[in-house]
Structure 1
Amino acid sequence: MFFTYLRRELRRRRKAALVIAMGLALGIALVITVSSVSAGMTQAQGKVLESLYGLGTDMTVTKAADPDSGSAERPRFQFDARGDDKEQSSDRVMVQGFQSLKSSVVDQVSGQSGVKDAVGGLSLVVIKVNGQFQRGEFQQAPGGGNRQRGGGGQPQGSVRGGGANFDINNFTVYGTDVGHLGLGPLTSSKITSGKTFTSAQGNAKVAVLDSAYAKQKKLTVGKTLTISGTKFEIIGIATADSGSSSANVYIPLKQAQTLADAKDKVTTVYVQAADSQRIDSVKAAIQKNISGTTVTTSSDLASTVSGSLSTASDLATNVGKWLSIAVLIAAFLVAGLLTSSAVSRRVREFGTLKALGWKSGRVTRQVMGEAIVNGLIGGALGIALGLGCAYLITAISPTLEATVGGGGGGGGGGFGPGGPARRAASEALKISLEAPVNVNTIVLAVALAVAGGLIAGTFGGWRASRLRPADALRRVE
């Protein structure tokens, strides 16, 4: 009887039911759209951070910044002015930021509670100067062949031409612990040619190049790259998943330490937490137990993201959230008022039913049932509309820009001055926005639909419970 009467009433009052359902549908669709866009922002931001931070990395440990460090060490190049006009060159390999940690810090970090894995890396910058001196020609002053200068026996005249022509080229090198390839900057790039390192190449003279750098220098797999007089065989070309890579050249950690005369030194320790919910506690433990270090988490780095991605993310998180709440409240109130108004127009119907023996509770349940069905219909329409909007956003794929600041680490760290992410952080990364819809969002939409129906039913049920059979007699014409 309940469902028969429910079906007939909904069919008879299709327009009113559709108006209530559409009001709820618009609110639910907005919630789905905002939630999917917010998820897309988080995903896009994750791509930006991933290109700098490395897959599986939860935090980095670097040496605490020292304002006096690096002031005494500057790149110096010494050339003799040989007269043979031959090309001269010199390489300087330096630790980025001039600050490093002992390799033993990696073991200390690994031993901290909540740390699943830790790996060290050494970030270097190579400055190469090459060119040649050109000999000038001495020209005597006119008529000065027999004239002496100050009685010193030297003919008067001047040197014409000559000089020096030198080119400066610099690139970044990252020393990778080939025994732990699951962490670190190299994991944010994909090998597109050749192969990556193996654990047996811990001290081998091999290198993996970033694809952009390899293209610029016209280097391919099988060729060699010379760094400070040492030749490295190029075994692979890697392409960053998004944005710029963290380094131009990747070589085994031991080789990097040898080139920079930094035995048993690292600039960055990449850390993976055993539980993503305990990242803050792990960070606190490392800072407390290992002095002279700075710990930077992915959330710390996320706070430095700026550009249109950051603006859109703030808009979706703040304005979108409050707009969704406001629209939902309005939709629920409108649905409740419309349901209550519909009950008021059915006074004669409910009064007659009560006169026939229907109790107030049965009338209330009937109104609540109709309202919940309207809510479910609105939820279905809202889910369809929300999915359509999310699909449209993904199809259009608006491009957002993101720039990551260089703060947050020590001088030799991954995200401080001179860290391996410095190159990538100095450029604006372009990210295509997507709007993924997950199961939780759909569940939330269904819950909102039921809640909307219950709220509307409460309004209508309260109104229906107050009707008396005598009210129906007053409406008889």
Structure 2
Amino acid sequence: MFFTYLRRELRRRRKAALVVASGLALGIALVIVVDSVTAGMSRAQAKVLESLYGLGTDMTVTKAASPPGEGDAVRRPRFRFDAGEGTDGAQQSQDVVMVQGFETLTASTVAKVAAQDGVADAVGGLSARVMKVDGRFASGEVRPAQPGQAPGQGGAGGEVRGGGADFGVDSYTVYGTDVAHQGLGPLTSSKITSGRTFTAGETSAKVAVVDSAHAKEQGLTVGEKLTVSGTAYTVIGVATADSGDASADVYLPLAEAQTLADAKGRVTTVYVRATDSQRIDEVKGAVQKNVPGTTVTTSADLADTVSGSLSTASDLATGVGKWLSIVVLGAAFVVAGLLTSSAVSRRVREFGTLKALGWRSGRVTRQVAGEALAHGLIGGALGIGAGLAGAWAVTAFGPTLTAELGGGAGGGGGQRFAGGPGGGGGPVRETATRALDVALTAPVSLTTIGLAVALAVTGGLVAGGFGGWRAARLRPADALRRVG
């Protein structure tokens, strides 16, 4: 009897049912779109952070470089070339490899961090920069002294003209990776597109993996030699960054990078994976307490430094979008309740007659609540459909967002050399930003669908509560007064 009466009333009051369901559908669809866009923002931010630290890294441990004190010597790149006899016109080249970004930590720091409660894995890495200078010296031409030339003018034997030096400066980044533990670190954010990656036994091998952009620029392919500071390394693989911007131009075994940078037994960054994502803050506190003198940066800390259109859109989605969806959904619930209550007031004769025929107030209330719940489920179905369509449209036609990350984060911060090679100024921490383009997506999860169903049921119950309260107060006498 309940379902027969319910089906008949829904058919008879199709327009009213559609109005109530449409209001609920609008609110539910907006919630789905906002929730999916917010999830897409989180995924985009995670992709940006992975481009710095690689997959699976929950935090990094570094040691910030302290400003030089008065009288402290500042290490500057120094290049020395022999300009003696036989060097005229000959190609000259020299590399200087320097640690970049942060002060180094001892390799034992990696073991200390790994021993902390809540740490699943910890791997050290060394970030360095190679400054390469090459070019030629050219001898000048000595011209005999002319008659009447003042003594000493142009030298004892005459005047020297022409000559000089023509040198170019190139710079690229090198990352030393622990080949025995390749599950963490910047190399995991790249995909090997040619050749292979390192093997666990190549801890001291003269091999290198080169980023695809750097390989194209330098004309390097698998099997060719890459010479760094006089040491030849065989290119065994070419890697392409998933984010389009690699963390380093060249990847070497950690021991080799340490030797080149004169930093044996040292690392610049410890990459950490927690046993549980819910314990990241706890692990951060433990490392800061038990490994003094270090700076711990979590993915959440890095997310706060992301700027650009990605950050702006994320703020809109999490702030304005969520509040808007809450307001619209609340309004939809109220409107659905008022419409249901109004419909009950127009059905006084019907409900009063049913009570006169023996229906109890509880049965009338359940009938009204059942109709309202049906409206909510219909609105939920419409809302889920509209929400899925909206999420698909965002993914298909959404804009490409730009994320800007400050340089020097983690192990990827750069250096510049003020004053030029060999000049004054020394290495200075670079504050330039890295800009990454990320396509906006709006993934819809099963949790979001479940939330939509729950909202539909809640909306139906809210509307049913309004209407049922009105229906329970009706008396058979009200129906009799309206007959005739």
TM-score normalised per structure 1: 0.94
* Distance in 1 of aligned mates of 2:438 and 2:182: 26
Q: Which amino acid aligns with 1:227?
A: V
Give a deviation string over 1:345-385, Cα, whole Å, max 9, x none. 10110111111111111111100000000000000000000
Shift in CA distance, 132/179, structure 1 to aligned 2, threshold 3 Å:
same
Do 1:376 and 1:446's aligned partners in 2 also have CA atoms closer than 8 Å? yes
Q: 1:148 aligns with which of 151, 169, 188?
A: 151
SS in 2 for 1:305: coil
- The answer for the alignment partner of 2:63 in structure 1 is 63
Which stretch shows the higher mean deviation, 59-68 or 236-245?
Answer: 59-68
Give a deviation string over 1:12-46, Cα, whole Å, max 9, x none. 00100010000000000000000000011111111
Shift in CA distance, 204/111, structure 1 to aligned 2, threshold 3 Å:
same
Question: Deviation of residue 265 (structure 1)?
Answer: 0.8
- The answer for the alignment partner of 1:129 in structure 2 is 133
SS in 1 for 2:402: strand
SS in 1 for 2:434: coil
- The answer for the alignment partner of 2:312 in structure 1 is 311
Q: Which amino acid aligns with 1:121?
A: G
* Distance in 1 of aligned mates of 2:3 and 2:235: 74
Question: Deviation of residue 392 (structure 1)?
Answer: 1.1
Do 1:244 and 1:424's aligned partners in 2 also have CA atoms closer than 8 Å? no
- The answer for the alignment partner of 1:470 in structure 2 is 477
SS in 1 for 2:81: coil
- The answer for the alignment partner of 2:421 in structure 1 is none
* Distance in 2 of aligned mates of 1:248 and 1:214: 8
- The answer for the alignment partner of 1:78 in structure 2 is 80
- The answer for the alignment partner of 2:420 in structure 1 is none
Which stretch shows the higher mean deviation, 80-89 or 248-257?
Answer: 80-89
* Distance in 2 of aligned mates of 1:425 and 1:316: 28
SS in 2 for 1:306: coil
- The answer for the alignment partner of 2:26 in structure 1 is 26
Matches within 5 A, 1:423-442: 426-442=433-449
Give a deviation string over 1:308-362, Cα, whole Å, max 9, x none. 1111011000000000000011100100010011111101101111111111111
Do 2:398 and 2:440's aligned partners in 1 also have CA atoms closer than 8 Å? yes
Question: Deviation of residue 426 (structure 1)?
Answer: 3.2
* Distance in 1 of aligned mates of 2:294 and 2:481: 84
Q: Name stretches of at least 5 consecutive residues in structure 1 with no aligned partner.
A: none
- The answer for the alignment partner of 2:387 in structure 1 is 386
- The answer for the alignment partner of 1:414 in structure 2 is 411
SS in 1 for 2:101: helix
Shift in CA distance, 184/342, structure 1 to aligned 2, threshold 3 Å:
same
* Distance in 2 of aligned mates of 1:23 and 1:71: 71
Q: Which amino acid aligns with 1:367?
A: V
* Distance in 2 of aligned mates of 1:45 and 1:401: 10
- The answer for the alignment partner of 2:459 in structure 1 is 452
Q: Which amino acid aligns with 1:118?
A: A
Question: Deviation of residue 133 (structure 1)?
Answer: 1.6
Do 1:53 and 1:298's aligned partners in 2 also have CA atoms closer than 8 Å? no
Q: Which amino acid aligns with 1:78?
A: R
Question: Deviation of residue 71 (structure 1)?
Answer: 5.7
When the two chains are superposed, the root-mean-square deviation of aligned CA atoms in Å is 2.0
* Distance in 2 of aligned mates of 1:140 and 1:463: 118
Give a deviation string over 1:66-93, Cα, whole Å, max 9, x none. 1228961010112233352222111101
Matches within 5 A, 1:124-203: 124-140=128-144, 142-144=146-148, 148-149=151-152, 154=156, 157-203=158-204
SS in 2 for 1:332: helix
SS in 1 for 2:350: helix
Q: Which amino acid aligns with 2:268?
A: T
* Distance in 2 of aligned mates of 1:160 and 1:64: 50
Give a deviation string over 1:79-129, Cα, whole Å, max 9, x none. 233352222111101111362111111111111111111111111111010
- Identity percentage of aligned residues: 70
- The answer for the alignment partner of 2:220 in structure 1 is 219
* Distance in 1 of aligned mates of 2:200 and 2:475: 85
Question: Deviation of residue 65 (structure 1)?
Answer: 3.1
* Distance in 1 of aligned mates of 2:364 and 2:151: 127
Q: Which amino acid aligns with 1:354?
A: K
SS in 2 for 1:382: helix
Matches within 5 A, 1:214-253: 214-253=215-254
Do 1:82 and 1:133's aligned partners in 2 also have CA atoms closer than 8 Å? no
